[in-house]
Chains A and B, each alone.
Chain A
């Protein structure tokens, strides 16, 4: 778990502003994921990437964007189009994009609050 980091830990944003959450891993994992966690809602998948320069939408991708230019990095941008962005955001990674290596390791999370 120590190999996946997120920054910042807390983030405050004014309405109408875009903000980018950082996620970095040094585990040499191929796949990376972004989840949103709200009380009583579990973890909901926003985007995931199986390999560099490729990513797929999850269940709640609207209002979010991602990039995967490097294997180690998978930043998430929360745009002004996201209607209710206040939440806890978790990044995760897994070794291979195959069924056999699917244990996901999570980062410590970023708590985003829209003022």
Chain B
């Protein structure tokens, strides 16, 4: 089945710096790749997603890139702020219908001011 690897497990940056989190997946049939943000004690929330027919997607300070040939995708956060501090999870769809997501183990991002 699908396997998703996420790196790094922890990331510390200074306010204003950029942060990059990378994920690889194993199933070439995967076609949907969301990123979730989970603040301490709260539920995960979708921040951005990308489908296999595009290579990059941006939403203000966050962007996601996808390389289907290499089977990896990345989350880029620019001009980081303290409120970006959270755990970030990548995920990939486990089958053609894209119904069940397989998540990476998460990256704890700390932004210090």
Chain A residues near B (Cβ < 8 Å): 1, 31, 33, 35, 40-45, 48, 50, 56, 58-59, 90, 94, 97-100, 102-109
Q: Is the CB of B44 within 8 A of A98?
A: no
Binds A, one of B14-22, B61-69, B76-84, B97-105: B97-105
In the complex, A52 Cα to B91 Cα: how many Å?
25
> What mask results when residues 46 to 78 of chain B are scored 1 for a CB within 8 Å of chain A, else 0?
100101000000000000000000000000000
B96 at the A interface (CB under 8 A): yes
Which residues of chain B have C-beta atoms less than 8 A from A97's C-beta?
Answer: 97, 99
Q: Is the CB of A90 within 8 A of B1?
A: no
Q: Is the CB of A106 within 8 A of B104?
A: no
Chain B interface, number of residues (Cβ within 8 angstroms) = 28
- Knowing A40-B105, A42-B6, A99-B31 touch, does A107 contact B43 (C-beta < 8 A)? yes
Closest-CB distance, A104 to chain B (whole angstroms): 6
Q: Is the CB of B101 within 8 A of A42?
A: no
Closest-CB distance, B24 to chain A (whole angstroms): 14
In the complex, A45 Cα to B100 Cα: how many Å?
8
**Interface centre among B91, B97, B98, B99, by most A CB within 10 Å?**
B99
Q: Is the CB of A58 within 8 A of B103?
A: no
In the complex, A43 Cα to B45 Cα: how many Å?
13
**Interface centre among B9, B96, B103, B104, by most A CB within 10 Å?**
B103
Closest-CB distance, B25 to chain A (whole angstroms): 13
- Knowing A33-B100, A41-B105, A98-B97 touch, does A103 contact B49 (C-beta < 8 A)? yes
Closest to B96 in A: A99
CB contact between B45 and one of A35, A40, A44, A106 (< 8 Å): that residue: A106
Which residues of chain B have C-beta atoms less than 8 A from A59's C-beta?
Answer: 1, 102
Q: Is the CB of A43 within 8 A of B43?
A: no
Closest-CB distance, A24 to chain B (whole angstroms): 15
In the complex, A64 Cα to B48 Cα: how many Å?
31
Closest-CB distance, B108 to chain A (whole angstroms): 9
Which residues of chain B have C-beta atoms less than 8 A from A45's C-beta?
Answer: 94, 100-103
Q: Is the CB of A1 within 8 A of B45?
A: yes
In the complex, A105 Cα to B97 Cα: how many Å?
18
